[in-house]
Amino acid sequence: MTQGRRRILGWIAGGLAVFLVFGNKGFRQWVSAYREKRRLDRTLTMLHGEHERLSRELAWIRQDPSYSEYLIRKNLGYVKKGEVEYQLIKKEKQGTAGKGRD
C-alpha cells in the first residue's frame, strides 16, 4: 500500500470516527440508551425481588390468622376487648433538651 493511499484511508477513518462521535447524535444517543437500559434492568430485577417477597407475605397472611392479627394490631393499633394499651413516652436525657435552640 502506498503512502498516499494510507493517508487517504486514515483521513476517511478519522472522518468516520468524528462523524460517529459528534454527528447526528448517533453515538451519544446510543450510549444514553444503553445506560438507560442498564438502569431499567437493575430496577426490574429489584422489583421482581420485591414482588416475590410480597407474594410470600400475602400467602402467609391468607394462611395464618395469627399473622393477620399481628399486622392489624401493629399497623392499625387495634386492641382486643378487655385489653389495656400502654403507650410509653421516652424521656430526653438531661442536658439535651435545650441544645440547638438559641
Contact 8, 14 (CB under 8 A): no
Question: Global pTM?
Answer: 0.52
Q: Which three cell numbers stand for residue 8?
A: 487517504
CA distances from 87 to 12, 35, 77, 84, 90 (A): 79, 50, 11, 10, 10
Could you tell me the pLDDT band of residue 1, with boundaries at 50, 70 and 90? low
DSSP state string for 50-68: HHHHHHHHHHHHHH-HHHH
Helices and strands per DSSP (H, E), number in the chain = 3, 0
Could you tell me the pLDDT band of residue 5, with boundaries at 50, 70 and 90? confident
Model pLDDT for residues 8-38, shown as the tens digit of each residue: 888 898 888 877 777 667 777 888 999 999 9
Residue 52 scores a pLDDT above 80: yes
Mean pLDDT of the residues in the chain: 85
Could you tell me the pLDDT band of residue 100, with boundaries at 50, 70 and 90? low
